[in-house]
């Protein structure tokens, strides 16, 4: 009890009010911030050099105490900020009380959370890069492995496996940009906003910001105390990334089924059955699929918390941390697992080649042949549809139709019809930039290498 209060919090209120069970994860960031804030206070004469040194050393001892095996907070600790202040008081006495000069828990927690978002946005970029590297390696080693491409989960047109895998590479490359946006968004320091109006001490905010790795300081104290957009930006990036991983996981589940047999996961990323000893279940891929809505739910939760919330700070905003921490743990675990899963995956070239050898996949090639002969595409589409029907009704492949049967559907078709049905032409005809043909695929691989190098360089520069 302190100040105007004469009663302890009701236990029922304390249970929902106390944030320490989850905001303890801010501890390292809060200590770093407190040390930078103390340096700012010394610059304006609130602390002298000896006091700064004592506070800095005390905070390091607090850091060590919390990291020690068996450490426990006290039941009376409301949140991580008050817990650290109490522990600092244990270490250095009344001097600890000077540290809160010129800041409020409102701008203190906003700054801590911004530091979390910066750190984990960078980690998201790094993990995306690791998964991209695995996809690129697989695409390079499987650049000439044909497989059927699908729409509606029905065989559509053949593609090279390398081309298909690179689709996920580019998804993750866009995720890198989203995490980078969140990193930049969190690079504006709220500290100095106070409770809402700023503080009475002319601390050099730019100096403190540089000390903590922020690029800028907030322009408006009300916005600084109440802003959680950077957190939403991170959760949006994580949600989209998790969705991409779910799509990949779903395809691996399908491809590894007995019915498809296109790939098999390494045993270290698979599970067995408690009753069926023959099973090799793609559980890691299934979990990539299932974790996605969990991350999206965290994003929706914070949007709901912030929706229509009056400025500046409300205790509602305490509910920003649990969804954030859960999303961080989930997306980072999924990206890490995906990279590991890809490192051991094995594809069945013969099985994919057999599936991509279905001549029905060449129907578009025949339509394009007619177009080259002057037939409008919509008319050509109908002609080829009739040919497909003739083949299906006759129990034949398209190439088994006689020239007479073919020309009965169109006089524009001749012996070149059979040349188009040669499997190699189906893939190599896609010579357009971004297509599956060997030449554009080679160019795409080179672009992917450059993109991955840029991602790694970005992480390296930020780490340094």
C-beta atoms surrounding 461 within 10 Å: 8
Question: Residue 264 — φ and ψ, nearest 5°?
Answer: -145, 135
Task: Find out whether 334 and 248 touch, Cβ atoms under 8 Å.
Answer: no
Pairing of strands 188-189, 216-217: parallel
Task: Find out whether 352 and 145 touch, Cβ atoms under 8 Å.
Answer: yes
Distance CA 263, CA 265 (A): 7
- Give me the helix-helix angle, 105-141 and 438-463, nearest 10°: 150
Q: CB neighbours of 461 closer than 8 A, spacing ≥ 6?
A: none
Clarify whether 239 is annotated catalytic.
no
| Residues belonging to the chain | 464
Cis peptide before 174 (omega within 30 of 0): no
Question: Which among 152, 219, 307, 424 is annotated as catalytic?
Answer: 152
Distance CA 427, CA 337 (A): 32
Strands (E), 319-402: 346-347
Task: Find out whether 378 and 366 touch, Cβ atoms under 8 Å.
Answer: no
Question: Residue 447, class by beta-carbon neighbours within 10 Å (0-12 exposed, 13-18 middle, 19+ buried)?
Answer: middle
Clarify whether 152 is annotated catalytic.
yes
C-beta atoms surrounding 162 within 10 Å: 26
**What tokens appear for 312 in the block?**
């500046």
Distance CA 438, CA 38 (A): 61
Task: Find out whether 190 and 224 touch, Cβ atoms under 8 Å.
Answer: yes
Task: Find out whether 288 and 338 touch, Cβ atoms under 8 Å.
Answer: yes
Question: Residue 19, class by beta-carbon neighbours within 10 Å (0-12 exposed, 13-18 middle, 19+ buried)?
Answer: buried
3-state secondary structure of 346: strand
Question: Which among 141, 273, 416, 425 is annotated as catalytic?
Answer: 273
Q: What angle do CA 440, 442, 447 make, to 5 degrees?
A: 90
Q: Which residues are catalytic?
A: 152, 273
């Amino acid at each position: 009890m302190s100040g105007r209060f004469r009663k302890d919090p009701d236990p029922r209120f304390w249970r929902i009010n106390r944030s320490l069970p989850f905001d303890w994860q801010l501890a390292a960031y809060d200590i770093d911030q407190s040390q930078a804030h103390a340096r700012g206070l010394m610059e304006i004469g609130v602390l002298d050099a000896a006091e700064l040194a004592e506070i800095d050393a005390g905070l390091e001892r607090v850091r060590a105490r919390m990291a020690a095996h068996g450490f426990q907070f006290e039941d009376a600790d409301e949140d991580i900020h008050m817990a650290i202040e109490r522990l600092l008081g244990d270490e250095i006495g009344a001097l600890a009380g000077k540290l809160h000069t010129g800041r409020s828990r409102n701008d203190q927690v906003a700054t801590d959370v911004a530091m979390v978002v910066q750190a984990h946005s960078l980690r998201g970029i790094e993990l995306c890069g690791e998964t991209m590297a695995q996809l690129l390696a697989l695409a390079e080693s499987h650049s000439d492995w044909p497989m059927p491409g699908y729409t509606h989960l029905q065989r559509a047109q053949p593609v090279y496996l390398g081309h298909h895998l690179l689709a996920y590479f580019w998804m993750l490359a866009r995720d890198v940009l989203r995490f980078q946006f969140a990193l930049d968004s969190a690079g504006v320091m709220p500290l100095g906003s106070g409770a809402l109006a700023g503080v009475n001490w002319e601390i050099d905010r730019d100096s403190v910001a540089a000390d903590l790795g922020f690029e800028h300081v907030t322009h408006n104290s009300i916005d600084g105390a109440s802003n959680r957009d950077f957190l939403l930006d991170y959760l949006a990036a994580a949600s989209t990334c998790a969705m991409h991983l779910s799509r990949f996981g779903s395809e691996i589940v399908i491809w590894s089924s007995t019915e498809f047999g296109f790939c098999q996961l390494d045993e270290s990323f698979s599970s067995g059955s408690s009753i069926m000893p023959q099973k090799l279940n793609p559980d890691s891929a299934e979990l990539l699929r299932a974790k996605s809505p969990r991350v999206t739910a965290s994003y929706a939760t914070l949007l709901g918390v912030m929706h229509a919330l009056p400025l500046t700070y409300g205790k509602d905003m305490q509910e920003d941390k649990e969804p954030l921490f859960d999303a961080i743990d989930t997306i980072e675990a999924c990206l890490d697992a995906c990279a590991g899963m890809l490192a051991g995956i094995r594809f069945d070239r013969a099985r994919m080649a057999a599936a991509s050898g279905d001549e029905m996949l060449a129907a578009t090639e025949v339509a394009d042949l007619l177009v080259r002969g002057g037939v409008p595409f919509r008319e050509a589409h109908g002609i080829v549809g009739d040919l497909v029907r003739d083949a299906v009704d006759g129990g034949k492949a398209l190439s088994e139709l006689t020239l007479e049967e073919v020309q009965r559907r169109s006089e524009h078709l001749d012996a070149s019809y059979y040349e188009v049905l040669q499997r190699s032409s189906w893939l190599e005809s896609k010579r357009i930039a971004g297509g599956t043909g060997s030449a554009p695929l080679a160019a795409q691989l080179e672009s992917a290498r450059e993109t991955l190098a840029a991602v790694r360089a970005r992480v390296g520069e930020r780490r340094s």
